[in-house]
Amino acid sequence: MQALIDSIANILRVPGDYLRELTLMIPLSGARTIFILYFVALLVWVLTMPKSEVCGVLPGKKEPIDLRFYAAAALIGQIMIYSLFS
């Protein structure tokens, strides 16, 4: 059984080493930019959603609440934190 496990590990080592080398070629500033752009894209998506998709009813409230403001505030906070501290 151990021989089978070792042969599978040896087969997967080649593409694994290739993918590792590819990820090491990405500069850290580029990775940081892609990471922050992900949250910017999420922010744009949240802000462009139709109102019917983002309204929610809370117990004790009579009218539905638009959740876009809270989601946008959370995403802006994450963008600021990751921009400042990464």
- Model-level pTM? 0.68
What phi, psi does 50 have (nearest 5°)?
-65, 150
Q: What does the pLDDT profile of the chain (86 residues) look like in tens digits?
A: 899 999 999 999 999 999 999 999 989 889 899 999 999 999 999 999 988 888 877 788 888 888 888 999 999 999 999 999 87
Output the pLDDT for position 4: 93
Q: Where are the domains of the chain?
A: 2-85
Amino acid at position 56, single letter: G
Output the pLDDT for position 43: 96
Output the pLDDT for position 66: 85
Alpha-carbon distance of 33 to 83, in angstroms, equals: 9
